[in-house]
Structure 1
Amino acid sequence: MGVAAAPTADIAVTGLGVLSPAGLTPDANWAGLCRGRSLAAYDAELAGLPVDFCCRVPDFDARAELGERWARRTDRFSQFALVAARRAVADAGLDPQTWQGERVGVVLGVGSNSLTSYPAEFAQLHDGRPDRVSPLALPRSVPNMAAGEVAMDLGACGPGFTTASACASGTTALGVARDLLRSGACDVVLAGGSESGCCRMSATCFARLRALSRRCAEPELASRPFDAERDGFVLGEGAAVLVMERYATARARRARVRALLRGYGATSDAHHPIAPLPDGSGAARAIRAALRDAGCAPRDIGQVNAHGTSTRLNDAAEAVALTRVFDQGPPPVTAPKSVIGHALGAAGALEAAFTILSLEHQTIPPTANFGHQDGDHKLDVVSGSPRRTPMSAAISCSFGFGGHNAVLVFTTE
């Protein structure tokens, strides 16, 4: 049974802005994913730490992109969001000078406040120099400022806020944006996520949790989702912003519809601060909820864009969840974190964008560094090279600390 034709309640994605370690445009990201090679590398800013490598966004010049004033007053995660939002709006063919700003919302997922600039400010306080703490320290660093700065830059005067569900934050933002559009509260929502977690404090904290891979001698082999030899994730960063509109509105203005957001499901494990339910039941409930919301059966799904962190517990729980839902065998699985690392609060938004690109190209990009699974995992993990696959629907999964599970279903128009 195929996916039903799009009703007017469906939500169209009409613009993409994507910044990741694979590049600064959707095309560059797609090419990087299809090469199937990890972008992890030694990072001098992490020198001396137990884990001294990560995946950084390359060639990002905030001053060139935003000008001196914006670059000085914003932190890196807000800078990513601003650039991604501008590019998404341009991709959608919208003009902020002419749109009805009070009908435009902004919902961005951010996993935490910025840990990039705060340590320097804390050092001033520790050294007894409170007068040297920057007056911009707070407004530059609090999580909501990514959405706030985007709204100010583009004149988006509708609902604007931040979702924080750890590594599911970006996916949650897209689900909330979908609800704003369905309710009629907005006509356009700029939604996604942004994070700049490649800093000494984040690397230290995650290393202390034993969540990061320790393959410092071979960082390019470190991120290996679903592989039997995985030992932790690799820090990444970036942003993705999607322009979302009601399908009928997009068609009326003859916009290019890149994909439809047909379903969203969210659950909580209510189990442990950082570990998922081993039986995958919380994640499985989120997947089933998204499928019900989309009006799709498991057999309609042509691809799973997995959360796939490369940690032992999370990958095992996700594999179990997928086999629970897809009892005839899960569709082909890809895990982009193998290439770009884990962008934390931005990961779900980035992977939503990648799922859309995959539907557009009718191709599933490979999972880097995948050799063989644990004996009890039975996933069809795409590896080695991209796989051409006719498909009309795909799911994107995100699971975060605190037991937050969020899943999206995208379809072709």
Structure 2
Amino acid sequence: MKKWLFTPLIILFGVVLLYAQKVEFTEFDLDNGLHVIMHQDNSAPVVTVGVMYDVGGKDLGGDNNPNRTGFAHFFEHLLFEGTENIQRGEWFKIVSAQGGSNNANTSPDRTYYFETFPSNSLETGLWMESERMLHPKIDSIGVETQNEVVKEEKRMRYDNSPYGQFLFVINENIFEKHPYKYKNIGEMEDLDAATLGEFNDYFKKYYAPNNAVLVIAGDIDPANTKKLVTDYFSEIPKGKDIVRNIPSEDPITETRHAEFYDPNIQIPAIIAAYRTPGFTERDSYVLNMLSTYLSDGKSSKLYKKLVDENKQALQVAAINFGQRDYGFYALLALPLGETSLETLKKEMDEELVKVQTELISERDFQKLQNKYENQFVNSNSSIQGIADSLATYYLLYGDVNLINNELEIYQSITREDIKRVANKYLNPNQRVEIKYLPKNTNE
């Protein structure tokens, strides 16, 4: 009798926990096209103000000039230089003086700026983001300053970091036409060659209210917040509609081969990369589950086989890298001892073939479902995280309510789906095989 009671209690607790994670939000639009999302949570006196712009590394400068890469990432830095009413060097001082924190990040598809404050500083956050959108300082001093900052970031994170070029090498070989093939951080010679006029034109094109979403999450009064948003943002002029003529990629139908030499490494790596659909497609969710099955944790198939049992690899991974237009799926491994790269590729292929020819076990499938349910429960554990999710689901996925029901997509995936998707996208004739090799700097 006690056991019979205990089981429903566990189920009930799970239902209550999932229900408790539901994120309530309201939305409205200003006449200038700015979309606004508000989430009220008065459990702690904290508020996050964020603006996500529909501009990323794929949006080149100079009217999509391939010699003007890295503009969106550059603006991630440049738009902290100040505005007509915020003096140069004062941005971070204002935030810290209010007891807040702030940051920004850029992907190939979007740029996100945000501040987190004590809730009594909400108006400060809205004022600062409206200043950034309305009249930032884009002058030669700021451009020169941030050019050096970006160069140092590139040297530290990529050029002088072991395996720091992994992502770039995959994108450069997976994509032939799409601007995903260019580095998100850009080429430094492109930024050096750009004119001040090109930077100003780029801002006018992409950093307009109708190309952005404003999110406010936390300890707010919705009616008052809506009034403040209207006061600070409604007078910002609407920008021109953006038309992107991004070319489509032709399917990969024959195995491609590439090599890259990294002076920062001593151990080579093998990469097998496949082009996949954008992250809004259901198949991309299936590929997420497949990557978890193959390489998430020490009990995963590839780790257990190549690292634990066979002692053939130092590291192994299966990654589904999501982007809006196309993603990529990559298998990669670093050899241990005298193991060859060809052997690692063969061993990884054997695990893929198993997924393509057999259904994964019910036990493994249930473990996958449990992991994604747990991730969903924990995904909105902070106000800052909720703000980011709300903006992302609106701007990139076109469905804000995915913040509450994305788990349903994972729950709808079957073992048959995993087998089908592996057969559809992950075949040898659909991939680029890349040898990532040490480079002798004395040559």
TM interval, short-chain normalised: under 0.3
TM-score by length of 2: 0.25
Larger radius of gyration: 2
Greater RCO (CA < 8 Å, at least 6 residues apart): 1
Structure 1 or 2: more helix by fraction: 2
What is the TM-score when the length of structure 1 is the normalising length?
0.27
